[in-house]
C-alpha cells in the first residue's frame, strides 16, 4: 500500500506587509529602547524576507486606527485571551479555505475523507479546528480526528507520519491534513536584539494536504510518502522555546540554533535515506526556512547548490516563516512540477527530501519517492 501525496493547497490572511514598512511600523512602538529602534531596519533587512502576512490588520494601519493593539501605543498590550479570540476568529476560515482547495485539487469529494489531522501551535479552543473542518467542509460525522498542538515548525511532519500510518493500516483511507498558524498575533514589545529578530521572522499562513492509500497500479508514477525520521538533541532544549505568557505566547530563540541543526544533518540524512543512497540521488530538497541562516548552514553542510535551496529561500522571501505550514508551501512547488512533468509525458522526480526543525531541538524529516 502506498501513501500518495495527492494535493497541497496554501493560503495566507489578507494583510500583506512589506518588510521595510514593518520595520518602520515597529520603530513606532513605545516601550522599546531607543538604541534598539534605530537598529530595527538593518535587523529586518538581514532576514532575507521581503513580505509577510498577518491576521492583524493593524500592521497595515496608522496607530490612530488600531483595533487590536492600543491606539497610539498608549495602553496595555492585548492579553493572551484577546489574542486567542482573534485566533479563533481567523484560523478556522483560513484552514477551511486551504482544505477545500486541497480536496478539489485531489479529486476526492468531502464525503470520501476518512480522517482529519489538524496542526497548530498559535492558538487553542475546543471544539477545535478538527471539528470546525468537519462541519465547514461537510465531512462525514464519523470522520476520525487528530489534533497536533504546540510542536512548532516541524508539526507538518508529525501530521504526515500519522497520515502514513493510517494509510498503511486502512485500505481506502483518505486523510486531510490542515496546518494553520497565526504567529503575528503574539508580537511582543522588543527589549533586546534577540526579541526584535524573532518579531522580524514570523508570518501567518495555512496549508492543507490530502494523502490517500493506493495500491501500486493506481499509484504508479505518483509521489508517495516513503518514510520519516525524528532526531532530538537532548542538550539544546533551551535554544528554542514557546511558552504561554500573560500577553500572548512567548518565543525563545538563540543564535546557536542553525549550527546545532547543521551539526546533526549529515548523520540524520544518512539515516533518513535508504541504505547506500548517495545525496546525489535526491532530486529535490524542501528545507524549512526557519531563518536565512538555517538554510545557509544546511546548504553548506550538505553541499547543496543554489538551485537546490532556491525554493526554500523564495518562500522565506515572499512569505516569511509561517511555522508548521511553511514546508508544505515548498513541497507544493515540487508536487506541481512533478505533476506537470507527468502530464507532459515525463517521469517527474524520483526521490525528494523535506526537513524542518523546532523545539527540542528536534529535527524532523521525510522522504518522498515516485511509485
**All structural domains of the chain with their residue ranges:** 223-370
pLDDT band of 75, cuts 50, 70, 90: confident
Task: Provide the greatest CA pair distance for the chain.
Answer: 65
pLDDT tens figures, 123-155: 999 999 999 999 999 999 999 999 999 999 999
Q: What is the pLDDT of residue 151?
A: 96
Angstrom CA distances, 134 to 93, 96, 102, 115, stand at: 12, 9, 14, 10
Please indicate whether residue 153 is annotated as part of the active site: yes
Q: Tell me the backbone φ, ψ of residue 286, rounded to 5 degrees.
A: -110, 90
Taking CB atoms within 8 Å and a gap of at least 24, the contacts of 64-69 are none
Between 126 and 32, residue with greater pLDDT: 126
C-alpha cell at 97: 479555505
C-alpha cell at 357: 526543525
Task: Report the distance separating Cα 227 and Cα 273, nearest Å.
Answer: 9
Given the residues 153, 167, 179, 183, the one annotated as active site? 153
pLDDT tens figures, 219-262: 999 999 999 999 999 889 999 999 999 999 999 999 999 999 99
**pLDDT at residue 190 above 90?**
no
Q: What is the pLDDT of residue 14?
A: 96
Q: What is the pLDDT of residue 18?
A: 95
Task: Report the distance separating Cα 96 and Cα 102, nearest Å.
Answer: 10
**Would the pTM count as exceeding 0.95?**
yes
pLDDT band of 330, cuts 50, 70, 90: very high
Specify the CATH architecture of the domain 223-370. Answer: 3-Layer(aba) Sandwich (3.40)
**Mean pLDDT value across residues 201-222:** 98
Mean pLDDT, the chain, integer: 95
- Give me the residue label for grid cell 468531502: 110
The radius of gyration of the chain from alpha carbons, rounded to an integer in Å, stands at 20
Q: Report the b/e string of 98-107 with b at 16+ CB within 10 A.
A: bbbbbbebbe
Amino acid at each position: 500500500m502506498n501513501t500518495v501525496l495527492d494535493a497541497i493547497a496554501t493560503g495566507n490572511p489578507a494583510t500583506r506587509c512589506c518588510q521595510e514598512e514593518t520595520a518602520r511600523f515597529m520603530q513606532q512602538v513605545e516601550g522599546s529602547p531607543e538604541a534598539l529602534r534605530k537598529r530595527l531596519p538593518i535587523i529586518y533587512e538581514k532576514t532575507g524576507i521581503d513580505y509577510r502576512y498577518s491576521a492583524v490588520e493593524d500592521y497595515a494601519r496608522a496607530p490612530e486606527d488600531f483595533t487590536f493593539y492600543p491606539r497610539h501605543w498608549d495602553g496595555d498590550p492585548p492579553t493572551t485571551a484577546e489574542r486567542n479570540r482573534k485566533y479563533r476568529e481567523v484560523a478556522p476560515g483560513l484552514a477551511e479555505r486551504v482544505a477545500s482547495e486541497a480536496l478539489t485539487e485531489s479529486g476526492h469529494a468531502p464525503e470520501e475523507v476518512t480522517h482529519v489531522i489538524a496542526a497548530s501551535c498559535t492558538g487553542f479552543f475546543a471544539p477545535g479546528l478538527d471539528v470546525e473542518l468537519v462541519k465547514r467542509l461537510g465531512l462525514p460525522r464519523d470522520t476520525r480526528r487528530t489534533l497536533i498542538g504546540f510542536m512548532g515548525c516541524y508539526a507538518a511532519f508529525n501530521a504526515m507520519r500519522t497520515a502514513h500510518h493510517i494509510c498503511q493500516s486502512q485500505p481506502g483511507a483518505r486523510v486531510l491534513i490542515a496546518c494553520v498558524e497565526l504567529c503575528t498575533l503574539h508580537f511582543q514589545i522588543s527589549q533586546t536584539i534577540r526579541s526584535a529578530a524573532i518579531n522580524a521572522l514570523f508570518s501567518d499562513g495555512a496549508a492543507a494536504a490530502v494523502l490517500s492509500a493506493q495500491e501500486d497500479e493506481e499509484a504508479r508514477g505518483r509521489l508517495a510518502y516513503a518514510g520519516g525520521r525524528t532526531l532530538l538533541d537532548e542538550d539544546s532544549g533551551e535554544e528554542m522555546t514557546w511558552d504561554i505568557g500573560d500577553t500572548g505566547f512567548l518565543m525563545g530563540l538563540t543564535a546557536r540554533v542553525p549550527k546545532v541543526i547543521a551539526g546533526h544533518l549529515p548523520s540524520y540524512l544518512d539515516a533518513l535515506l535508504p541504505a547506500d543512497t548517495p545525496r546525489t540521488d535526491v532530486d529535490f530538497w524542501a528545507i524549512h526556512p526557519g531563518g536565512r541562516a538555517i538554510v545557509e548552514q544546511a546548504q553548506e553542510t550538505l553541499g547543496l547548490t543554489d538551485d537546490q535551496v532556491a525554493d526554500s529561500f523564495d518562500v522565506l522571501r515572499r512569505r516569511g516563516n509561517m511555522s508548521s505550514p511553511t514546508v508544505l508551501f515548498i513541497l507544493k512547488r515540487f508536487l506541481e512540477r512533478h505533476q506537470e512533468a507527468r502530464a507532459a509525458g515525463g517521469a517527474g522526480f524520483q526521490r525528494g527530501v523535506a526537513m524542518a526543525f523546532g523545539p527540542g531541538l528536534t529535527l524532523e524529516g521525510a522522504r518522498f519517492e515516485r511509485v
